[in-house]
Amino acid sequence: MSWQSLPMPNMRYGITVRLRADEEDFLLPPAKIDTTPFKISEKLPESEMPKTRAQDRLEAAHQEFLGKTLTVTVHRHASRPILITNQCKGASFDHIHIVAQPNSKAVFVEKNNTTSRFTKVTLDVGENADITYGSKHQGGVLWAKREAVVRQGASMRWCDVVKDADLAYSRTKTILQGDHSQTTYAGVFVGEHGQYDIDSANEHVGKHTKSDLVSKGVLEGTAKAINQGTITIQKNAHGSDGYQKEDVLLLGDGAEADAIPQLFIHNHDVKCSHGASVANVNKDHLYYLQSRGLGERQAKDLIIQGFLNTALDSMPEELR
């Protein structure tokens, strides 16, 4: 049985119900695991892969079938984006680990040729380092866990694009460990079918930390999604500032979504806010554009572009 022919689990969604991480059909191994090495556009020193314990059965499956790894160290300012290309023809089970040394700066952009992927990305962002990590996945199946630990004065930016997936299960977490550290997350998912379970989380541990989370989805046809964001401010994280916004635009009666913001605040000396929306295309806006000579599809595309731009504008050009 090929990976592409596996039955997809039925995602039942709601404010407390998520895609089941122990779904048996989701764990079946593909007929072939491709171990073609990553291609990276710039030669960097190697780092040491961290030892981690699986948190659920899907992560355990990832560790069992792990086919390739990439471990690199950023030791200076990189003047151009560093491209990481996954050249797989079959299913990819991979782990990318990046260590950013203090005061370093780099932009990483993932480019994937595979549509069946189990991937884990971990980053250790040193003091006063500035790291951007962007990825794009299109079609097929995606299971992704990404996590960064950010040290004092450092900055971590995530950019994530998922398009036309059959099933996308994505988790991105940033731990602001050091004082005055900060993070931003800009995510976009677009589809006419399939199921999307997109979850991003920021945890404030250090003092005077800042996080900004923006996630945008556009669904058509029969696509379904859960779009969840979480900000946690720990008890010693005085002076922290957290913001999150999750929005989903529905085109058609068959698409469904939940946008779920969550705040867990254990310190009163903070600023924290959130917003969420799930809405259909405004018919008045559509009518106005069509009255100016645009066809229905052109008008919808223009509305979609304007809706997504708040997330896309902050991304590297290679992801737009």
Q: What is the pLDDT of residues 72-81, one digit of tens each?
A: 999 999 999 9
Q: Which amino acid is at 280?
A: N
Do 31 and 1 contact (CB within 8 A), yes or no?
Answer: yes
Do 77 and 102 contact (CB within 8 A), yes or no?
Answer: no
How far apart CA 220 and CA 8 sit, in angstroms, is 19
Rg (CA), the chain: 20
- Give the pLDDT mean for 259-276: 92
DSSP codes, 191-242: ESSSEEEEEEEEEE-STT-EEEEEEEEEEETT-EEEEEEEEEE-TT-TT-EE
Q: What is the pLDDT of residues 43-61, one digit of tens each?
A: 999 999 998 889 888 888 8
Percent of the chain with pLDDT over 90: 66
Q: What is the pLDDT of residues 146-170, one digit of tens each?
A: 999 999 999 999 999 999 998 899 9
The answer on pLDDT for 21 being more than 50 is no
The answer on pLDDT for 22 being more than 50 is no
Residue 77: CB atoms within 10 Å: 11
Q: What is the pLDDT of residues 91-115, one digit of tens each?
A: 899 999 999 999 999 999 998 888 8
Give the closest residue to 48 by CA, choosing from 92, 112, 98. 98
Query: Domain-by-domain residue ranges, the chain?
Result: 122-319
pLDDT at 18: 55
Q: What tokens appear for 320 in the block?
A: 């737009």
How far apart CA 182 and CA 202 sit, in angstroms, is 10
The answer on pLDDT for 68 being more than 60 is yes
Residue corresponding to tokens 């659920």 = 56
Residue 151: CB atoms within 10 Å: 20
